[in-house]
């Protein structure tokens, strides 16, 4: 079929996909969609993706909070671990327009000693600050303001038995009602002894500490952390939910029924947690909960020969819950590291998209700071309605900004450890000129010869809203010398060159060099095809299916290899050639729709 007709066919299929009878709305209805459950709030069908607002002034140990007027306050120290340390002075900047512009940095407080990172919260009644910081003397300190941030009191924070504390709060102190008083609760961890909480009922003057809870280290050959970097929100029934990062590849949770005084034994959730990457929970004014985390997996230590390889911090994800965290909606890529294709090692300290700070603006948007080190970090403004969207499409008119396609460069046998992230990258799959439409671009997936990288096979990874049922449409073209590829549907992010992506995928469509994808269907070379994957989970998710249609003709059904409780949210395409393949395949359009 001529390419112009195939493009028309794809467009018609895409329109049908995006505007099916169950999801078709007029323009006026688009901003007035009422959820099937009448108790749910009005959601927007059309919402803009996260908006980049610039680079924060600093990275590690920062906080985003709101003052009593609703203005956004960014608190930070200047400096970092590896360039002479941090300044004694803690600074702040204020934004009155959702992070679009910021005031010049101004001093907030000068902390004595040999200070390091700081994390802050504002008393929602008095508007005064609590600034927690490490003085690098194995003790944590609190600076508490009075008189509208003019006067400060300093006190040491310690556990009753003086067991080590590495970090307090990480910017996630929460304020809850305790009778007619406000209680502030902040988490801590340290010394491999697990996590706990400090709490105060008098604005931070006096503190009580909970017992610690811990998570067993069950995965060998990686950085063994136990329970670290707790994050908390208060649930609708008054209990406190704590999510905990650990070294077991899943988020673990604990519950407090006494406002942080004690915590239940942690249990593993079905949410993945990227290696060595923290978690952020945030309760919104309307009781919904936001989760920001790294729904990803680093390369295996046996591949990199480094249990601290940190090859999964190129991405951060966001989800929203309307039922106190029982179910999560979205699993969307909040951010991809702008240096993921190269230039990653431009800074000898922590880098990538590990950290996230969040505050809710008076307009109901989310102002978020992500990332560590210059050029990696960003301020983002997010409309929560964007998380609810059920469709996404890609025609490469914006290039490859929405794709992960990098390759990891093999590190020399003798190297200098540059703290976290000591692997450089280079681009993998590239854009090429459309073979029939010279003004358009296509994704080119190949296997070029390159002995400098861990894997020579191109891979391309693309996120869409998570769903237990959905449809993916791919317009693809096998070039004359094509030597094989595969298409995988996943529930989390893997490095594009990582074999784990295929091994843990829900569904895999193999396309051999011959193009014979089923006994009755052959993909001819140098011809465009519209490939549709329609998947669904049934009942308790133990039964699943994925039908493959090509040019609207049902050609095969592929088995479910792994079950995901949270649905499918990733498309992975990768060369599977055993030898150099410069021809490979082209992809001109991709679209997804989920339920």
Average pLDDT in the 266-281 region? 91
For residue 271, name the pLDDT band (cuts at 50, 70, 90). Answer: very high
Average pLDDT in the 560-587 region? 95
Residue, of 369 and 57, whose pLDDT is higher: 369
pLDDT of residue 182: 96
Residue 315's alpha-carbon distances to 232, 355, 412, in angstroms, are: 22, 11, 25
pLDDT of residue 160: 78
Q: Which residues contact 528 (CB under 8 A, 6 or more apart)?
A: 1, 3, 6, 436, 475, 476, 477, 588
**133 vs 130: CA distance, rounded Å:** 10
For residue 283, name the pLDDT band (cuts at 50, 70, 90). Answer: very high
Residue 530: strand pairing partners: 475
**97 vs 366: CA distance, rounded Å:** 12
Query: Residues 351, 356, 357, CA angle at the centre, nearest 5°?
Result: 135
SS3 19: coil
Q: Which two tokens stand for residue 264?
A: 């239940």
Tell me which residue has tokens 């390159």: 450
pLDDT of residue 168: 82
What percent of the chain has a predicted confidence (pLDDT) above 70?
Answer: 88
Residue, of 190 and 420, whose pLDDT is higher: 190
Answer yes or no: is pLDDT of 206 > 80: yes
> Based on the number of CB atoms within 10 Å of its own CB, is 61 exposed (0-12), middle (13-18) or buried (19 or more)?
buried
DSSP single-letter state for residue 120:
E
Q: Is 238 left (phi over 0), alpha (psi -120 to 50) or beta?
A: left
pLDDT of residue 39: 35
DSSP single-letter state for residue 13:
H
pLDDT digits (tens, 9 = 90+) for 19-73: 443 333 233 333 333 334 333 344 545 789 999 999 998 877 799 999 999 999 9
Residue, of 218 and 460, whose pLDDT is higher: 460
Residue 154: strand pairing partners: 143
Query: Residues 76, 378, 130, CA angle at the centre, nearest 5°?
Result: 25
Which domains does the chain show, CATH number per domain?
51-389 (2.120.10.10), 393-412+420-594 (2.60.120.560)
Please give the radius of gyration of the chain, using alpha carbons only, rounded to the nearest integer.
25
Are 219 and 272 within 8 A, CB to CB? no
Pairing status of strand 406-408 against strand 85-95: unpaired
**525 vs 267: CA distance, rounded Å:** 51
Residue 133's alpha-carbon distances to 67, 92, 113, 192, 556, in angstroms, are: 20, 15, 10, 19, 59
pLDDT digits (tens, 9 = 90+) for 293-325: 999 998 888 787 777 777 888 999 999 999 999
């Amino acid at each position: 079929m001529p390419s112009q007709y195939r493009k028309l066919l794809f467009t018609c299929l895409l329109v049908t996909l995006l505007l099916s009878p169950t999801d078709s709305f007029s323009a006026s209805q688009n901003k007035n969609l009422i959820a099937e459950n009448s108790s749910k709030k009005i959601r927007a069908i059309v919402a803009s993706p996260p908006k980049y607002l610039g680079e924060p002034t600093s990275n590690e140990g920062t906080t985003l909070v709101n003052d009593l007027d609703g203005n956004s306050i960014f608190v930070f120290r200047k400096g970092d671990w590896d360039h002479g340390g941090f300044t004694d002075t803690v600074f702040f900047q204020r934004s009155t327009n959702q992070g679009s512009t910021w005031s010049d940095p101004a001093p907030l407080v000068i902390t004595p000693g040999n200070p390091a990172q700081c994390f802050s919260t504002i008393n929602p009644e008095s508007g005064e600050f609590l600034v927690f910081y490490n003085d690098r003397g194995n003790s944590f300190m609190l600076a508490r303001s009075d008189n509208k941030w003019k006067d400060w009191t300093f006190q040491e924070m310690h556990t009753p038995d003086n067991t080590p504390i590495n970090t307090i709060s990480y910017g996630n102190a929460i304020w809850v009602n305790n009778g007619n008083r406000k209680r502030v609760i902040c988490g801590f961890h340290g010394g491999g002894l697990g996590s706990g909480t400090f709490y105060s009922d008098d604005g931070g003057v006096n503190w009580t500490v909970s017992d610690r809870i811990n998570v067993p280290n069950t995965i060998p050959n990686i950085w063994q952390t136990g329970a670290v970097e707790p994050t908390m929100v208060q649930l609708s029934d008054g209990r406190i939910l704590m999510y905990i990062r650990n070294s077991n590849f899943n988020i673990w949770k604990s519950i407090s029924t006494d406002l942080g005084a004690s915590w239940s034994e942690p249990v593993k959730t079905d949410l993945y947690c990227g290696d060595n990457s923290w978690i952020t929970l945030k309760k919104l004014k309307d009781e919904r909960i936001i989760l920001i985390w790294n729904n990803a997996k680093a390369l295996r230590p046996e591949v990199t020969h480094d249990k601290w390889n940190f090859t999964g911090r190129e991405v951060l994800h966001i989800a929203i819950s309307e039922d106190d965290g029982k179910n999560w909606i979205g699993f969307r890529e909040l951010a991809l590291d702008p240096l993921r294709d190269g230039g990653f090692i431009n800074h000898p300290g922590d880098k990538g998209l590990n950290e996230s700070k969040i505050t809710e603006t008076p307009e109901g948007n989310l102002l978020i700071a992500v990332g560590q080190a210059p050029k990696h970090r960003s301020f983002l403004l997010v409309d929560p309605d964007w998380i609810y969207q059920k469709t996404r499409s890609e025609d490469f008119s914006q290039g490859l900004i929405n794709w992960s396609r990098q390759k990891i460069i093999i590190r020399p046998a003798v190297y200098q450890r540059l703290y976290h992230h000591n692997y450089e990258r280079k681009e993998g799959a590239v854009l090429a000129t459309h073979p029939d439409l010279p003004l358009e671009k296509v994704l080119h997936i190949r296997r070029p010869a390159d002995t400098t990288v861990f894997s020579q096979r191109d891979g391309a990874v693309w996120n869409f809203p998570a769903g237990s049922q959905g449809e993916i449409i791919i317009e693809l073209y096998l070039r004359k010398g094509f030597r094989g590829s595969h298409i995988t549907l996943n529930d989390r992010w893997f490095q594009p060159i990582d074999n784990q992506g295929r091994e843990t995928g829900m569904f895999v469509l193999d396309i051999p060099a011959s193009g014979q994808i089923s006994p009755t269907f052959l993909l001819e070379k140098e011809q465009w095809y519209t490939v549709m994957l329609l998947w669904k989970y049934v009942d308790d998710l133990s039964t699943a299916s994925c039908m493959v249609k090509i040019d609207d003709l049902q050609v095969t059904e592929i088995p479910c290899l792994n079950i995901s409780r949270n649905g499918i949210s990733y498309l992975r395409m990768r060369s599977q050639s055993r030898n150099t393949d410069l021809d490979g395949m082209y992809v001109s359009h991709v679209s997804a729709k989920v339920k």
